Amino acid sequence: MQAVQITQYGGSEVLTPADVDLPVPGPGQAVVEIAATGVNFIDVYHRMGRYPTPLPFIPGVEAAGRVVALGPDVTGVAIGDRVGWVLAPGAYAQAAAVPVDRLVPLPDGVSDETAAAVLLQGMTAHFLTHDVHPVRAGETVLVHAAAGGMGLLLTQLVTHLGGRVIGTVSTEAKEHLARNAGAAEVIRYDQVDDLAAQVRALTGGEGVAAVYDGVGASTFDASLASLRRRGVLALYGAASGPVPPVDPLRLMSAGSAVLTRPTLGDFVVSRQELLERATDVLGWVDAGTLHVSIGGRYPLAEAARAHEDLTSRRTTGKLLLIP
């Protein structure tokens, strides 16, 4: 079968198309024929070695498709079932062997492409808005990169929960996308010198209850300065690079702020928790509460171009590989 393999860490050029053996399911596994694979920043971190993974490996931790083979004594899933998954490796391929307890059944109203585009980011948006900082009706939060795949989902969810979103974007076209997703206010990076001052002006000087920041190094200082007293800075990613070490006294100076670096794996520890979050997200998509924007589709052989487009911030919405 066709796959993308990494034999050394590095730039996008290390994403090498390869012919590999079709996976054989072991105990507790199912083989899924992949219809669509989500492209995520965690894939970039794996590729670069920021999150070390034994070499060689097939990257990708999110996909959707149909079960085609079962391992010994597997129950709870059948050949032909439509499923999706997150946080199991090997998705940059035509098929993958996946632990059954990581598989999520897909409702008829949600396509394979939509599932592959929403599961990881949708469940991340779920725990950010329900657990890390539960959004309360009437409060204002700041969402960075509001026209990206995560930003659009966060903006919709915060709005659905009754919150007010101030979004940040880099272009006029992205501003329109953020507003269409529900952002009450949008700040253009290219049009302000002091982002935090602009946020405070839009909140009557108070600041925001929370900042959802997946950008990292280039936004961290402004994010911290944008918080109201006892606000929460949820640093869930580092698209612009890792944040340097932080003196805890800065949190005191920011009004007893809370800084957290959450990751999805800690919020889907049990199968029950995984299914609850996935069911909520897929249900919102099926009901039309969440609209999933797919910003680009690439064949497996062009995985390197997908990574380049993702990291250059030229794209909006979610990027997919189509095996």
Question: Is the Cβ–Cβ distance between 42 and 149 less than 8 Å?
Answer: no
Of the candidates 86, 83, 33, the residue with the CA atom closest to the CA atom of residue 60 = 86
Confidence of residue 39 (pLDDT cuts 50, 70, 90): very high
Say if residue 317's pLDDT is above 90.
no
Answer yes or no: is 164 within a domain: yes
> Residue 129 domain-assigned?
no
Q: In terms of residue numbers, what domain contains 85? A: 2-119+268-322
Q: In what order do the strands lie in the sheet with 258-260?
A: 185-188, 164-169, 140-143, 208-213, 227-235, 258-260
Q: What is the pLDDT confidence band of residue 22, given thresholds at 50, 70 and 90?
A: very high
Is residue 128 included in any domain, yes or no?
no
131 belongs to a structural domain: no
Total-model pTM: 0.95
Residues ≥6 apart with Cβ < 8 Å to 147: 167, 169, 173, 174, 175, 177, 178, 181, 316, 317
For 274-281, the CB contacts below 8 A with 24+ separation are: 274/102, 274/104, 275/104, 277/123, 277/126, 277/127, 278/84, 278/104, 278/119, 278/123, 280/126, 281/118, 281/119, 281/122, 281/123, 281/125, 281/126
Domain stops at, among 261, 292, 307:
261
pLDDT digits (tens, 9 = 90+) for 108-158: 999 999 999 999 999 999 999 999 999 999 999 999 999 999 999 999 999
CA–CA separation, 261 and 214 (whole Å): 10
- For residue 124, tell me if it sits in a domain: no
CA distances from 68 to 2, 18, 35, 112, 130 (A): 16, 21, 12, 15, 35
Mean pLDDT estimate for the chain: 96
| Residue 182 sits in the same domain as residue 239 | yes
Q: What CATH number has the domain bearing residue 286? A: 3.90.180.10
Angle value at C-alpha 146, between 223 and 46, nearest 5 degrees? 80
**Which residues lie closer than 8 Å to 49 by C-beta, 6 or more apart?**
9, 10
pLDDT score for 122? 98
Number of domains forming the structure of the chain: 2
Q: Do 194 and 285 have their domain in common? A: no
Last residue of a domain, one of 218, 238, 261: 261
The distance of Cα 257 from the centroid of its chain, to the nearest Å, equals 24
Judge whether 69 lies within some domain: yes
Question: Strand pairing of 29-39 and 140-143?
Answer: unpaired
pLDDT tens track for 262-272: 999 999 999 99
* CATH number reported for the structural domain that contains residue 254 in this entry: 3.40.50.720
Tell me, yes or no, whether 108 and 157 share the same domain.
Answer: no
272 and 241 belong to one structural domain: no
Same domain, 153 and 196: yes
Residues 208 and 245 in one domain: yes
**35 with 108, same domain?**
yes
User: Beta-carbon neighbour count of residue 65 at 10 Å?
Assistant: 27
In this structure, the answer to whether residues 9 and 104 fall within a common structural domain is yes
Instruction: Write out pLDDT tens, residues 46-91.
Output: 999 999 999 999 999 999 999 999 999 899 999 999 999 999 999 9
Q: How confident is the model at residue 276 (pLDDT cuts 50, 70, 90)?
A: very high
For 191-228, the pLDDT digits (tens) are 988 999 999 999 999 999 999 999 999 999 999 999 99
Residue 189, pLDDT score: 86
Are 62 and 89 part of one and the same domain?
yes
Q: Look up residue 118 and give its two tokens.
A: 């929403």
Return d(Cα 149, Cα 139) in angstroms, integer.
23
User: Are 243 and 277 within one domain?
Assistant: no
Residue 315 has pLDDT above 90, yes or no: no
Residue 316 confidence (pLDDT): 83
Looking at the structure, tell me whether residues 246 and 287 fall in a common domain.
no
Last residue of a domain, one of 236, 261, 286: 261
Same domain, 224 and 275: no
Among 208, 216, 219, residue whose Cα is nearest residue 235: 216
